């Protein structure tokens, strides 16, 4: 059962779906091109340029980075060049030299250090070989939309994703890839069949391949080089458009006051942040605070109340940014920077409406100048919504080397749950009627989809295990994806009846703690826990249900050597689990894979096929 927060998000998706289908591709692309023409950010400093060519000239003369020379020398194709740009941005964000790997103390030291590259490879592969660099490092990076326009040589047409091509071929952009595109669409040319194959991605791809290689059909010759460039740009725009749409839906969902009431009413959550910001004067007094994803601005208000000298509140939702501004104004805390020419107040909170990755476009904050970075970034199962990457981006760009990040650690836990943690008991007695025939189908569905719900601590039947810990002060973005191996054993608490008998384990429940440790909160460290053993929060827990229950026992008594381990005849003494959690290809979602094996007292083992959950 999903909580209101997910329901609001999904409802927002449904309401906007029709509007999305009515969007004009040309209008969107023209807006993107306008942005691209004036906001290309240098790869190494804060300078911006009107075109990619001017930017690359600047990089060559000021930062010893000759993009075109590298591309020509290494024979990079479009995607190789695309990855190179994202790689360089990722290294610069960490104050690392892109070619020698040396880490400098600050961005100024890095710019002084930059030198012509003498090597581009490690272990026989380019530094940027990893496909993770196909993902734009900077959201809506205009340079990624314009750099290919300056290429002069391309040997091979790009490999085209079928799903992207299908979307392209149903848009109004595709006809522009052909000289006589309009006649094709209208069916005036034999080539029009290509554009009628949108329901068959493979046929469309094959046809497009023929076009891109400049084949002659009824006397029509296409300029392959020019069309390939346009095709690649269109593909990049499709991917960026998908991310942009997801972001708009995501931030739009936070325009619902119901979601904010639910979060503000969560005393465990709100009191933890309030305590950290109000009860640690050595940290907050006189500090410059950056609040990422401020919502109503409650954390910014706490920071101001705690003695901060300046608070920069970043909120991507236009509606909530306006609300946060009004709340700060009503409480006499809005700074003159937010007033835009209106009557000025001596407040300290400056609300900026944008994604934090685009903050430089709206306000200048000197690099490494923020004392405290605070954010309530956690989603279900800790990592759902993928907002952590935005927090780490802000940390690397603006937090002082000795600055504080709140919270500064996060830990994921797991435990096994029993029958009471499922819906089986409900269906066995519905107003006095037995509806248990429904249980089987419900359990099958639950084995494919994670359930966000509160589980009673009395239904936890195993010891809890730490599956992963994050140090927010030092971790890298790619550490958000991880794999952990752990074992579950029945609880040893004598008060728990499950330890004195054989009982089935129906799945694994996940929860998290985030800590405001004494590393930064010297006077009063605190913990925000979403454990089933503590008061309930709006995050609840995340439930992963096995395909079939595994019978467990704490006894080493004789068991059948012929029965499968995990059955009543041969119960398991422990369950070995391997769990992987990674960011999904669907922006802001996560994928969870779970592999389980039951192990008997005589060390026999029975394994189940991997289960995949998407959240």
Tell me, rounded to whole angstroms, the distance of Cα 114 from its chain centroid: 31
| Residue spans of alpha helices (H) in 24-66 | 25-36, 52-63
Q: What angle do CA 261, 263, 267 make, to 5 degrees?
A: 105
Angle between helices 267-278 and 257-265 (to 10 degrees): 70
DSSP letter for 158, please: P
Which residues contact residue 267 at a Cβ distance below 8 angstroms, ignoring those fewer than 6 apart?
535
Which residues contact residue 594 at a Cβ distance below 8 angstroms, ignoring those fewer than 6 apart?
508, 544, 577, 578, 579, 610, 611, 612, 613
Task: Tell me the C-alpha to C-alpha distance, in Å, between residue 40 and each of 30, 54, 259, 574.
Answer: 16, 9, 36, 56
Question: For residues 293 and 4, what is the distance between their CA atoms, to the nearest angstrom?
Answer: 19
Which residues contact residue 598 at a Cβ distance below 8 angstroms, ignoring those fewer than 6 apart?
550, 552, 565, 566, 572, 574, 575, 576, 605, 606
Burial 130-160 (b: 16+ CB within 10 A, else e): eebbeebbbbbbbbbbbbbeebeeeeebbeb
Q: Are 372 and 407 in contact (CB under 8 A)?
A: no
| Burial label, 470 (beta-carbon count in 10 A; 0-12, 13-18, 19+) | buried
Which residues contact residue 474 at a Cβ distance below 8 angstroms, ignoring those fewer than 6 apart?
none
Residue entry with tokens 């705690």: 306
Task: Tell me the C-alpha to C-alpha distance, in Å, between residue 267 and each of 232, 270, 305, 374.
Answer: 50, 5, 18, 18
Q: What is the DSSP string of 402-421?
A: EEEEES-EEEEEEEEE-GGG
| Burial label, 232 (beta-carbon count in 10 A; 0-12, 13-18, 19+) | buried
Question: For residues 409 and 519, what is the distance between their CA atoms, to the nearest angstrom?
Answer: 10
- Active centre residues (catalytic): 376, 385
CA nearest 381: which of 439, 445, 441, 449? Answer: 449
Q: What angle do CA 292, 294, 299 make, to 5 degrees?
A: 100
Question: For residues 575 and 550, what is the distance between their CA atoms, to the nearest angstrom?
Answer: 8
Q: Look at residue 515 and give its three-state secondary structure.
A: strand
Question: For residues 20 and 246, what is the distance between their CA atoms, to the nearest angstrom?
Answer: 11
CA dihedral 168, 583, 407, 404 (to 10 degrees): -70
Tokens of 482: 């991880």
Q: Look at residue 369 and give its three-state secondary structure.
A: coil
Q: Look at residue 429 and give its three-state secondary structure.
A: coil
Q: Are 169 and 204 in contact (CB under 8 A)?
A: yes
């Amino acid at each position: 059962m999903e909580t209101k927060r997910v329901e609001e998000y999904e409802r927002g998706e449904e309401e906007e779906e029709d509007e999305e289908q009515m969007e004009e591709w040309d209008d969107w692309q023209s807006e993107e091109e306008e942005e691209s023409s004036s906001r290309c950010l240098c790869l190494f400093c804060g300078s911006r340029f009107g075109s990619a060519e001017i930017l690359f000239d600047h990089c060559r003369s000021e930062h010893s980075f000759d993009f075109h020379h590298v591309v020509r020398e290494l024979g990079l194709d479009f995607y190789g060049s695309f990855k190179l740009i994202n790689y360089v941005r990722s290294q610069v964000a960490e104050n690392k030299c892109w070619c020698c790997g040396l880490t400098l103390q600050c961005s100024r030291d890095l710019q002084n250090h930059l030198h012509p590259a003498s090597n581009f490879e490690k272990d026989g592969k380019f530094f940027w070989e990893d496909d993770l660099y196909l993902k734009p490092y900077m959201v809506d990076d205009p340079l990624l939309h314009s750099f290919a326009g300056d290429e002069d040589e391309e040997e091979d047409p790009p490999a085209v994703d079928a799903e992207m091509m299908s979307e392209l071929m149903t848009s109004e952009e595709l006809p522009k890839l052909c000289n006589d595109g309009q006649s094709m669409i209208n069916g005036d040319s034999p080539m029009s069949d290509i554009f009628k194959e949108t329901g068959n991605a493979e046929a469309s791809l094959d046809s497009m391949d023929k076009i891109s290689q400049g084949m002659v059909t009824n006397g029509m010759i296409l300029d392959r080089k020019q069309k390939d460039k346009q095709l690649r740009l269109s593909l990049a725009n499709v991917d960026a458009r998908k991310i942009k749409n997801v972001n708009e839906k995501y931030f739009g969902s936070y325009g619902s006051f119901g979601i904010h009431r639910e979060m503000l009413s969560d005393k465990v959550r709100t009191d933890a942040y309030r305590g950290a910001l109000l009860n640690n004067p050595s940290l907050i007094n006189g500090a410059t605070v950056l609040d990422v994803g401020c919502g109503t601005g409650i954390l910014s208000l706490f920071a101001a109340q705690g003695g901060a000298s300046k608070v920069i509140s970043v909120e991507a939702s236009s509606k909530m940014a306006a609300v946060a501004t009004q709340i700060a104004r009503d409480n006499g805390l809005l700074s003159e920077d937010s007033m835009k020419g209106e009557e000025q107040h001596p407040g300290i909170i400056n609300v900026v409406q944008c994604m934090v990755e685009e903050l430089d476009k709206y306000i200048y904050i000197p690099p490494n100048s923020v004392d405290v970075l605070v954010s309530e970034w956690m989603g279900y199962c800790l990592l759902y919504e993928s907002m952590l990457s935005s927090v780490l981006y802000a940390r690397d760009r603006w937090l002082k080397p000795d600055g504080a990040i709140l919270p500064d650690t996060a830990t994921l836990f797991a435990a096994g749950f029993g029958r009471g943690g499922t819906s089986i008991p409900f269906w066995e007695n519905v107003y006095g009627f037995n509806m248990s025939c429904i249980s089987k189908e419900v359990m099958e569905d639950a084995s494919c989809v994670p359930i966000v719900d509160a589980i009673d601590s009395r239904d936890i039947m195993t010891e809890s295990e730490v599956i992963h810990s994050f140090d927010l002060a030092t971790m890298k973005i790619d550490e958000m994806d991880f794999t952990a191996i752990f074992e579950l054993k029945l609880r040893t608490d004598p008060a728990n009846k499950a330890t004195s008998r054989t009982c089935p384990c129906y799945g694994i429940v996940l929860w998290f703690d985030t800590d405001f440790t004494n590393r930064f909160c010297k006077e009063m460290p605190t913990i925000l826990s979403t454990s089933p053993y503590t008061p309930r929060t709006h995050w609840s827990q995340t439930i992963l249900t096995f395909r079939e229950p595994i019978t467990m026992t704490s006894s080493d008594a004789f068991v059948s050597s012929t029965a499968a381990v995990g059955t009543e005849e041969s119960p398991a003494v422990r369950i070995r689990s391997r769990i992987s959690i990674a960011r999904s290809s669907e922006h802001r979602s996560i994928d969870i894979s779970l592999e389980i094996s039951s192990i008997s007292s005589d060390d026999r083992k029975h394994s189940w096929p991997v289960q995949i959950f998407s959240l």
